[in-house]
């Protein structure tokens, strides 16, 4: 068996248990897209093209309210900023790979793949096997995600509208946010951004979201600097 | 036009996502992320999630703020459940259960 095929199997096996956690999330995302008014075709297209649950769920309210395109893209980009960190951390594992692999890798690099595979891949010496492990894990997650979302996208048709299934999207975002907030500085950031979003909710074209994100970033930055200042004085 | 607008936006969102994930993969060895920048970017997800979730729970554009809304109570249940259990299904069941129960009670 080639080292590439060996890697593929290995990657799939390594991610298997973690990928199951994607299932409820994917179903919730599928349902939330339909509940906010997207057709089955539009939901499928969004799911395959964007393939980033947080950006999908976060932009749904903006898509529905016909917010300007630049605002939708800016919101998606901000929600994606964490990927820039992943990208920087994973880059050494891709330096010796051809461009096509780096391009496909950029599409498949989701949270769970980075968190589970990242450390191991950076240590893997064999380039073929390293790519195999990444691809195996990435494709497995992609397939799991698409199939489970499809269940939500199609299943949403049978649920009565007054069940407020769109709230599934909000729950999914909360599930992502809560563990982050175990770190005090993240809690401060999220609360500052949330409070500002409420105060600024009537700014035109829903630009309050972006303004609130900036307030949150600055609050987090200042809080961390203060924390470090206090630590140094001791 | 209206029908294709969404697909056009999805295509643009594809690039927005692919380019952020690929930022350093595609650039190869030439570029590295400065440490200061990395620290600042760390706050982006929490800030964005906070800004997006709060209006959904308390009141969005054109709505009055309601700090006793069924959605906020349901969200509180979700937070408690996430802190307590690792099972990925429980938050969805708890959140939707509380929301539907409160909406039912409220008529």
Q: How confident is the model at residue B107 (pLDDT cuts 50, 70, 90)?
A: low
pLDDT tens track of chain A, all 234 residues? 688 899 999 898 888 877 888 888 899 999 999 999 999 999 999 999 999 988 999 999 889 888 899 999 999 998 888 888 888 888 889 988 999 999 999 999 988 888 788 778 888 889 999 999 999 999 999 999 999 999 999 999 888 777 788 788 889 889 889 998 999 999 999 999 999 999 999 887 678 888 998 999 999 999 999 988 877 776
Would you state the torsion angle of the CA atoms of residues A60, A66, A72, A76, taken in this order, to the nearest 10 degrees? 10
Q: How many A/B residue pairs have CB atoms within 8 Å?
A: 270
CA–CA distance, A145 with B50 (Å, rounded to integer) = 25
Taking contacts as CB-CB distances below 8 angstroms, the residues of chain A near B78 are 171, 174-175, 178
ipTM attached to this prediction: 0.87
Both structure tokens of A140: 């497995």
Mark yes or no for CB contact A95/B21 under 8 Å. Answer: no
pLDDT at B44: 83
Q: What is the pLDDT of residue A14?
A: 84
DSSP B62-87: TS---TT-HHHHHHHHHHHHHHH---
- CA–CA dist B107, B105 (Å, integer): 5
Residue A170 to residue B53, Cβ atoms within 8 A: yes
Cross-chain Cβ contact A24/B62 below 8 Å: no
What is the radius of gyration, based on Cα positions, of chain B?
A: 20
Q: Which pLDDT belongs to residue B62? A: 82
**Which residue has 């650039």 as its token pair?**
B27
Nearest CB among B27, B51, B99 relative to A209 is that of: B51
Q: Report how many helices (DSSP H) and strands (DSSP E) chain A contains, helices first.
A: 12, 0
The total number of residues written for chain B in this structure: 107
Residues B91, B75: Cα–Cα separation, whole Å: 9
What is d(CA A155, CA B80) in angstroms, rounded to the nearest whole number?
28
How do residues B23-60 score in pLDDT, each as one tens digit? 889 887 777 778 777 777 788 889 988 998 999 999 88
Q: What is the pLDDT of residue B1?
A: 42
Task: Tell me whether residues B56 and A170 touch, CB distance under 8 A.
Answer: yes
**B93 has a chain A CB within 8 A of its CB:** no
Give residue limits of the domains in chain A: 3-178, 181-234
Q: If pLDDT is split at 50, 70 and 90, which confidence band does B77 have?
A: very high
B34 touches chain A (CB under 8 A): no
How far is Cα A80 from Cα A52, in angstroms, rounded to an integer?
8
CA distance B88 to A202: 34
CA distance A134 to A127: 11
Q: Which of B9, B76, B53, B64 is nearest to A212 (CA)?
A: B53
Residues of B in contact with A75 (CB under 8 A): 48, 52
Return the residue matching tokens 């307590």: B84
**B44-58 vs A53-64: helix crossing angle, rounded to 10:** 40
Contact in structure between A192 and B48 (CB atoms under 8 Å): no
């Amino acid at each position: 068996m080639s080292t590439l095929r060996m890697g593929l199997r290995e990657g799939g096996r390594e991610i298997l248990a973690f990928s199951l956690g994607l299932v409820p999330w994917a179903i919730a995302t599928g349902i939330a897209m339909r509940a906010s008014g997207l057709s089955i075709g539009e939901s499928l297209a969004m799911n395959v093209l964007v393939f980033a649950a947080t950006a999908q769920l976060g932009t749904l309210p903006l898509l529905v309210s016909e917010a300007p395109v630049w605002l939708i893209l800016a919101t998606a980009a901000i929600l994606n900023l964490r990927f820039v960190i992943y990208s920087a951390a994973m880059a050494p594992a891709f330096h010796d790979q051809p461009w096509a692999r780096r391009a496909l890798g950029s599409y498949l690099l989701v949270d769970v793949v980075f968190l589970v595979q990242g450390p191991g891949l950076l240590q893997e010496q064999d380039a073929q096997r390293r790519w195999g492990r990444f691809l195996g894990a990435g494709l497995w997650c992609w397939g799991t995600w698409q199939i489970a979302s499809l269940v939500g996208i199609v299943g949403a048709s049978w649920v009565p509208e007054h069940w407020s299934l769109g709230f599934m999207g909000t729950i999914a975002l909360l599930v992502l946010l809560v563990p982050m907030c175990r770190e005090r500085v993240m809690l401060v950031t999220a609360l500052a951004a949330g409070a500002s979003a409420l105060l600024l909710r009537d700014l035109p074209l829903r630009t309050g979201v972006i303004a609130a994100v900036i307030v949150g970033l600055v609050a987090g930055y200042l809080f961390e600097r203060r924390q470090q200042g206090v630590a140094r004085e001791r | 036009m209206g029908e294709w607008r969404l697909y056009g936006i999805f295509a643009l969102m594809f690039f927005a996502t692919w380019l952020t994930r690929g930022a350093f993969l595609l650039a190869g060895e030439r570029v590295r992320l400065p440490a200061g920048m990395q620290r600042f970017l760390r706050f982006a997800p929490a800030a964005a999630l906070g800004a997006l979730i709060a209006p959904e729970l308390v009141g969005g554009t054109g709505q009055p703020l309601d700090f006793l809304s069924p959605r906020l109570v349901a969200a509180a249940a979700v937070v408690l459940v996430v802190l307590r259990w690792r099972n990925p299904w429980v938050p969805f069941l708890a959140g939707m259960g509380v929301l539907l129960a409160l909406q039912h009670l409220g008529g």
